Amino acid sequence: MSVNIFKKRHPAVANIFASVKSPKKILLIPIDYAKSTHKVLFINGDGDQCRAPFDVHNTNAGFEFLLESIKRTCKKRRIAAKHVIIGGEGLPCFARNFIHALDKHFLILNIHAKEAKEMRQTEQASTDKLDLVGIAKSMLHGSGKPIGKQRFMQNNIGNDDDISLGAPVYEELFADQVPLQILTRHRAKLVLDRTGCSNRIHTLTDQLFPGFLDAKSPLSAFSTASVELMKAPNFSAQHVAKAKPRNLSNNLKEWGTHQPEESALRLIEMAKDSLSSAPSISPNLQIALASQVIHYEGLKKSISHIEAHLHASLVSSPASLLLSLPGIGVVLAAGIYAELGSNLALRPLTELCSYSGIIPRVKQSGGPDKPAKAGKVRKPANRILKNYLVRAAMKMHAFGPPHLQEAYQQLKANGQHADFIIARRLLRSFKYMMIHQTIYLPPGLRQLSEADPAQLTNHLNDTREKIAAKWHRTSQAQEAMSSDHPLGRWWETVTSGVAQLRSEEFESLTIH
């Protein structure tokens, strides 16, 4: 097997260049996306211009015009449609419908903005034509990665993993990745907004009622009772200090506070001991606080709405298998799957770690006797995915399987980057689970033929109960384990396999 030293050239692009007798039989179409009018250029694989830069409107008529132009050029130069490659810088939201229409016909590449900038003729100026040249040169150098459904048909799956699934199967298997990514990224932004909103509420509350949201307060921060009190138009330490214990206690009881009588007395004493804000600014502080609390409640409701849809989407998604790992919840599983998706199966583990930003740079020079040195993590990485994987690694420290908890503690004790190392181990496990459509099993149970049937049965029962508990806020736990979905199909396969392994002494054991 030949090895290509041009690692940046994606297998989908390399296959096209390898399948033609001459690069002139390849049509490269760099596009400089714009909100209303795109700039387009036609070149062949040698870099010769086939058509001067021209404008294409970001409309249905513009798409039809570009499609007809491509057909005429291919007919004139005898280029097959499968040898047409379209590339653009980034994936702007205003061009996604246009890209979606093109994706039905041709291979689409996403060119990194930094690479396109380096390929421009000058760094002192930036125009549509100069940007177009930068994109074109990047495509000629083999930069860019496929996007859209065409990547399943073009990908060279023959990498370091033994994968027997075909491209159409992958397309169906990971079809929900992009829709799920919309929800997970929107939820992440809402959570960020909620955090900013809660910080502003703390700032205002520290002036109106110092200590009200602190850990020593009788009311939990942002509980129903604390939110209702902060929404009151006259909320302040002075107002709470004058409240009658009985009335305040009744309100706290109505809002679900534990031990309302004691909490009311403690809150009044705390209010009497607090400094009051200046009377001239208190009314405006109260108005600002009430509006922030209402905004906070809206964000909280929006996040719950998104999470309900995440639960529903995860039921039929292969990402539901990730819930079998202790510490991985619905939001975390959905986030990891939405950022990786088919890459878990199609790309080598080393590339996934680099893309995730959880592996340091390695530098080695001065001859073979000089050891390699590990540097900082590369910056151009998927920071969203990096955050999810690091959070997953931290969950392993607290709730993960015993061997991962011990490994995390040992790495920390050795002064190593435990979060990154455990994240890489998890990424390897996630990759295996997605390829083989199975749940996580501890090392001692991964060989079914050698596993203790009693121990395996207990582990499977326990895993199923824990997976169901992660759907406790919805009514989809039973649906998730049906044979129509990945978890249910896995369950049927595994239970039948365990039944075959049972000996006579384990006949009384059953999987519920």
**C-beta neighbour count of 286 within 10 angstroms:** 21
Residue type, 373: K
Q: List beta partners, residue 360.
A: 377
Domain co-membership, 117 together with 210: no
For residue 203, what are the CA distances in angstroms to 10, 170, 213, 269, 473?
Answer: 51, 50, 10, 22, 32
Contact 94, 25 (CB under 8 A): no
Residue 512 CA to residue 495 CA, distance in Å, equals: 10
DSSP string, 453-501: HHHHHHHHHHHHHHHHHTTTTSS-HHHHTSTTSHHHHHHHHHHHHHHHH
**Domain-located, residue 165:** no
Domain co-membership, 328 together with 278: no
Domain co-membership, 64 together with 85: yes
Domain co-membership, 15 together with 152: yes
Q: Is 366 left (phi over 0), alpha (psi -120 to 50) or beta?
A: left
Domain co-membership, 299 together with 322: no
**Domain-located, residue 61:** yes
Predicted pLDDT of residue 459 = 81
pLDDT band at 164; cut points 50, 70, 90: very low
**Domain-located, residue 168:** no
Predicted pLDDT of residue 444 = 79
Question: At residue 24, does pLDDT exceed 50?
Answer: yes
Across the chain, which distance is largest between two alpha carbons, in Å? Answer: 90
Q: What is the mean pLDDT of residues 274-293?
A: 92
Burial class (CB in 10 A: 0-12, 13-18, 19+), 68: exposed
Predicted pLDDT of residue 235 = 93
| Residue where a domain terminates, one of 391, 408, 440 | 440
Average pLDDT of the chain is 82
Helix (H) or strand (E) holding 53: strand 49-57
| Residue where a domain terminates, one of 440, 466, 487 | 440
| Residue where a domain terminates, one of 156, 172, 207 | 156
Predicted pLDDT of residue 56 = 95
Q: What is the mean pLDDT of residues 373-377?
A: 61
Look up the domain containing 109 and give its range: 11-156
Question: At residue 154, does pLDDT exceed 50?
Answer: no
Domain co-membership, 341 together with 283: no
**Domain-located, residue 150:** yes
For residue 433, what are the CA distances in angstroms to 117, 129, 175, 428, 439?
Answer: 38, 46, 17, 9, 6
Q: Which two tokens stand for residue 235?
A: 């909320």
DSSP string, 331-391: HHHHHHHHHHTTHHHHS-HHHHHHHHT-SEEEE--SSTTSPPEEEEEPSSS-HHHHHHHHH
Domain co-membership, 417 together with 478: no
Question: At residue 378, does pLDDT exceed 70?
Answer: no
Question: At residue 127, does pLDDT exceed 70?
Answer: no
pLDDT band at 118; cut points 50, 70, 90: confident
Burial class (CB in 10 A: 0-12, 13-18, 19+), 124: exposed
pLDDT in tens, 431-440: 888 877 788 8
Q: What is the mean pLDDT of residues 170-176?
A: 58
Domain co-membership, 233 together with 292: yes
Residue 62 CA to residue 504 CA, distance in Å, equals: 72
Domain co-membership, 327 together with 259: no
Q: What is the mean pLDDT of residues 51-63?
A: 94
**Domain-located, residue 467:** yes
**Domain-located, residue 36:** yes
Question: At residue 479, does pLDDT exceed 80?
Answer: no
Count of domains forming the chain: 4
pLDDT band at 124; cut points 50, 70, 90: very low
pLDDT band at 468; cut points 50, 70, 90: confident
Question: At residue 63, does pLDDT exceed 80?
Answer: yes
Predicted pLDDT of residue 83 = 92
For residue 457, what are the CA distances in angstroms to 166, 339, 423?
Answer: 33, 33, 28
pLDDT in tens, 228-258: 999 998 999 999 999 999 999 999 999 999 8
**Three-state DSSP class for residue 108:** strand
**Domain-located, residue 483:** yes
Domain co-membership, 263 together with 332: no
Domain co-membership, 268 together with 353: no
Question: At residue 203, does pLDDT exceed 90?
Answer: yes
Residue count of the chain? 512
Q: List beta partners, residue 38.
A: 56
Question: At residue 135, does pLDDT exceed 80?
Answer: yes
pLDDT band at 156; cut points 50, 70, 90: very low
pLDDT band at 147; cut points 50, 70, 90: confident
Question: At residue 163, does pLDDT exceed 60?
Answer: no
Question: At residue 507, does pLDDT exceed 50?
Answer: no
**Three-state DSSP class for residue 42:** strand
**Domain-located, residue 83:** yes
Q: Highest-confidence range of 153-167, 318-332, 342-356, by mean pLDDT? A: 318-332
Domain co-membership, 38 together with 148: yes
